[in-house]
Chains A and B, each alone.
Chain A
């Protein structure tokens, strides 16, 4: 009896160890799964340039990092205390101009190199900078809400919640603001992020390599619904985009001031929603809601949006 229980325990322990081992090795087995890491394998030229910068800087720094790590192990081993160590011992040796020169100047030179790259790249990859293309940029206005994203399409006169669609062959220009706390809009496969702040307008220019579906999200912690505040971004070919346009234009809902006040209320993990039209100048009304100097309201709708939701 006792032996059987012991046997069971051993078997249970064995099963546990095997499971634990399997779990531990999973990430290694999934090494190939890194191919879906949007930062490492981007799907647009902006993100690609940013990633390449990451790789270049990483490579250059290895000139210093690898020797530092290897020398640490080497010295720790070679000069360890033991009864018969034939390695040199110089207890009063405390300086060398040559070594000092190398350890100051080599890292400094690396910083000069990376610094030059940084100066150019920061200007080149300024999120506000329009992207060169033979086609006009597709403009979208994004508004961060608790806890969802509202996208306005001035070109189409329509709007969508928690879904972004744009033609794959045109650069995408997103104007961003927030009608709640600070958020940060990011579509990792296409490029970096920028903050969304109430009363302020920020901008991001992106471009997709081709049609595809990407995940976008708010990366700036904003409260209880934060974990679910993500959306799908679709870069579509012409035919798909035309279909999508029609679908949204035919939606029953209209995003007038009243509907916006409702939408503004806190909600978590909202389904995708479409609006066939939106209130005139909605984006600038949302901006002026938090203006540092408050003037008279330009319209009834503006007053409703600014006060009703506040």
Chain B
């Protein structure tokens, strides 16, 4: 066997392991979110002297955020399909669309946060708001890192082409992105929906 083929063999095995490892990583992340959800559930009614969820949440805005994120999951799926068909250009285009949707989501979230802080409803006001900002903020941080990942991957696709490692990384980034979508659905139904009811 030549050095190149044996390296390739080894790389295949390594990428396979990475995908399995990434699933386990996602599980640890899921534990983090589960506990942040639990913390929120414990503190949700502890509004201290500050406003309650009813006074703060706006389902309209949240629905738009939800829409953006759900569609971005769909567009990432389109990128994955393009990847399967080896269409480099379409992969990049769909990734750009996903990135824009992700950034739009982040923008809306940031404006929501700053609006709340301006209204005197920052995280230092009550246990409820601390838990809210931590849970939603941690999700937002993940989306930000995911967006950074998309930027890096667009660059990699453009410079390296659809090589085996690039494909593997794109697959894993896709898992991450869909995972964040699921977490958001959790946030929508545990935080926002009961918050206004």
Contact = CB atoms under 8 A, between A and B. Distances in A.
Interface of A: 292-294
Contacts of B45: 292-293
Complex A-B, nearest 5 residue pairs according to Cβ-Cβ distance, in ascending order: A292-B46, A294-B49, A294-B48, A293-B47, A293-B48
A294 B45 CA distance: 12
Interface in B17-62: 45-49
Majority secondary structure of chain A interface residues (helix, strand, loop or mixed)? loop
Given A292-B46, A292-B47, A294-B49, 8 more contacts: A292-B45, A292-B48, A292-B127, A293-B45, A293-B46, A293-B47, A293-B48, A294-B48
B114 to A, nearest CB: 25
A293 B49 CA distance: 6
11 contacts: A292-B45, A292-B46, A292-B47, A292-B48, A292-B127, A293-B45, A293-B46, A293-B47, A293-B48, A294-B48, A294-B49
Question: Interface residues of B: mostly helix, strand, loop or mixed?
Answer: loop
B135 to A, nearest CB: 18
A293 B45 CA distance: 8
Interface of B: 45-49, 127
Contacts of B47: 292-293
Contacts of A293: 45-48
A293 B127 CA distance: 10
A294 B47 CA distance: 8
A293 B125 CA distance: 12
Nearest to A290: B48
A290 to B, nearest CB: 10
A106 to B, nearest CB: 36
A184 to B, nearest CB: 22
B68 to A, nearest CB: 34
Nearest to A292: B46
A55 B188 CA distance: 53
Nearest to B127: A292
Contacts of A294: 48-49
Contacts of A292: 45-48, 127
A292 B47 CA distance: 7
A293 B48 CA distance: 4
A199 to B, nearest CB: 10
Contacts of B48: 292-294
A292 B48 CA distance: 5
A296 to B, nearest CB: 10
Contacts of B127: 292
B2 to A, nearest CB: 46
A25 to B, nearest CB: 52
A292 B45 CA distance: 8
Nearest to B49: A294
A294 B48 CA distance: 5
A210 B48 CA distance: 46
Nearest to B128: A292
A293 B46 CA distance: 6
B54 to A, nearest CB: 13
A222 B45 CA distance: 28
Nearest to A291: B48
B177 to A, nearest CB: 37
B19 to A, nearest CB: 38
A62 B91 CA distance: 69
B131 to A, nearest CB: 12
B52 to A, nearest CB: 9
A292 B46 CA distance: 5
B151 to A, nearest CB: 42
A294 B51 CA distance: 11
A293 B47 CA distance: 6
Nearest to A293: B47
B90 to A, nearest CB: 53
A227 B127 CA distance: 32
A291 to B, nearest CB: 8
B195 to A, nearest CB: 15
Nearest to A294: B49
A294 to B, nearest CB: 4
A229 to B, nearest CB: 28
A29 to B, nearest CB: 53
